Amino acid sequence: MRDLVPDPGPELLRGLGASAGTAVGPAYRLADPPRLPAPRPVGDPEAEVQRAWAAIDAVCADISRRADAAADATSGEILRVQAALAGDRTLRDGVAQAVRAGHEAPHAVAAILAGHRSALLAAGGLLAARAADLDDLRDRVVAHCLGLPMPTLPDPGCPFVLVAVDLAPADAALLDPARVLAVVTSAGSFVSHTAILARARGLPTVVACGRALEIADGTVVTVDGTTGRVSVGSGEDYTPISAPPTAPAAEHRGQTSDGHPVALLANIGCAAELTGVAVEGVGLFRTELLFQHHIDPPTLAEQVQEYAQVFAAMPDRQVIVRTLDAGSDKPLPFLREHDEPNPALGIRGLRVARRRGDILRTQISAIAAAARESRARVAVMAPMVTTVAEAAEFTALCRDAGLPTVGVMIEVPAAAVRAAEILQTVDFLSVGTNDLSQYAFAADRRSGELADLLDPWQPALLSLIALCAAAGVAVGRPVGVCGEAAADPAFAVVLTGLGVTSLSMSPTAIPAVRAALAAHTVEECRAAAQQALAAGDPATARAAVTRI
């Protein structure tokens, strides 16, 4: 493999932008995990089973300790999921069978987890993004079996850009912005744990950068987590910097320079993510985190308690709760009925209610109960809505539960082109740009090769968003955007010009977007939107807006 070096000039690598911001600094790679030794005969199978189980137990205990000591709730929750994987009974039983079939403990562990890994990849979607978690679990158990330490993050003695194939939860949870300037991985996706934790810490991150491992240690790189570009060989005369898209602002409310309001809201998964954060409200409260840690659906009481914590943190402010966004491409133990040939086009989001309406009804009841005891302005919205009939049925269900403000997400082109009709049945729309791009361009959002099609600046995507915004303007109802594309300050200007009324993003991205809007009048935003719509490709759209 050829190492990329900074002579004769910078070389540009491309991946997927997973956490906005820019950083400049020397790159250092995560060391390789221990390799499996050559197979040997098993002398005492039962002793070898105990050896394997002891290694699994030790790794499970270590990850649990890391979870308890995690610096934030998101890291802790992710590590607890990893610990649950390590403690799963099917892993122990499978390893025991493999050992008794003649495999040494390290090889037995690797073989069983390889089977689980293949199943995750075949499932696709969010579950496929968790394959790296199993790789890390394998490496840790194998290392313990061999009496070897697991590689930790590099320590070059200066702030650095971390380069790796992908980061396991235990490593991603250790990302310290004081040491790590940015992250570049050759694998991974926007929904990988690396990306999630990097966004929570405001670290610029590029994933699915195929040639990342060719970067030689110590080479200075510039990472743009917004565009997904990595410039290799940025020169020796540099100052290490990491600049998440933040900027000072005198007020927390978003508005253009001439006073046109644009609500800037936060995307969160739990109440802890609101600690120390000054935001106008929550534009996307993902409720999946609560469900992911249950073998059976969480009870009404458990859900009420979780939602009440978020609502209590937002008195007199808006909180938009998205009902469970799960299904075949985001499997949960209590939802798995049978495999689907194309999970992304199957039973997911609101469609889960076709099979398990009880789960949706219980969740809506819990949201309503928590809202009644709160000062927050609670709204609820459904994911993966496709037709007017689905929107109307969901609205009726919420109204019957006592929830007055009901909306739906626009993630499917069919819903976008019928936005005006859907708005006759709901109070607001929220455009999910990630899935809308995927379905509009028939391009898997996990694919680095298709990143150009998934660029939010694609004029066709802008046209779909414009349809939704125009429908909202016509009837005086709000239309927001809750995809991470809203975190791009220039793109936020365009969205405002299209008529979007709110933008929801990672809390760390809000200040920069607020500053960008405050620097433009609403007419300038509209001019930028028209230039972007008229462009023939994303690059032309960006350039046109930059000129404005």
Query: CA nearest 175: which of 138, 202, 141?
Result: 202
| SS3 label, residue 410 | strand
Q: Are 24 and 238 in contact (CB under 8 A)?
A: yes
Alpha helix stretches (DSSP H) within 213-299: 288-292
Q: Are 195 and 19 in contact (CB under 8 A)?
A: yes
| SS3 label, residue 19 | strand
Task: Produce one character per residue of 290-317: b if its CB has 16 or more CB atoms within 10 Å, e if not.
Answer: bbbeeeebbeeeebbebbbebbebbeeb
- Element at 303 (helix H, strand E): helix 300-312
The catalytic position among 468, 482, 520, 525 is: 482
Strands 479-481, 502-505: pairing is parallel
Rounded distance between C-alpha atoms, residue 192 and residue 169, angstroms = 9
- Quick check: is 193 catalytic? yes
Residues with Cβ within 8 Å of 258's Cβ and at least 6 positions away in sequence, in order, are 521, 522, 523
Q: What angle do CA 192, 198, 200 make, to 5 degrees?
A: 105
Q: Are 186 and 32 in contact (CB under 8 A)?
A: no
Rounded distance between C-alpha atoms, residue 370 and residue 378, angstroms = 9
Rounded distance between C-alpha atoms, residue 503 and residue 524, angstroms = 18
Rounded distance between C-alpha atoms, residue 439 and residue 397, angstroms = 27
Rounded distance between C-alpha atoms, residue 114 and residue 384, angstroms = 32
The catalytic position among 193, 270, 398, 468 is: 193
Rounded distance between C-alpha atoms, residue 133 and residue 151, angstroms = 15
Q: Are 242 and 23 in contact (CB under 8 A)?
A: yes
Q: Are 531 and 505 in contact (CB under 8 A)?
A: no
- Element at 163 (helix H, strand E): strand 160-164
Tokens 């009726």 — which residue?
Answer: 396
Catalytic residues: 193, 482
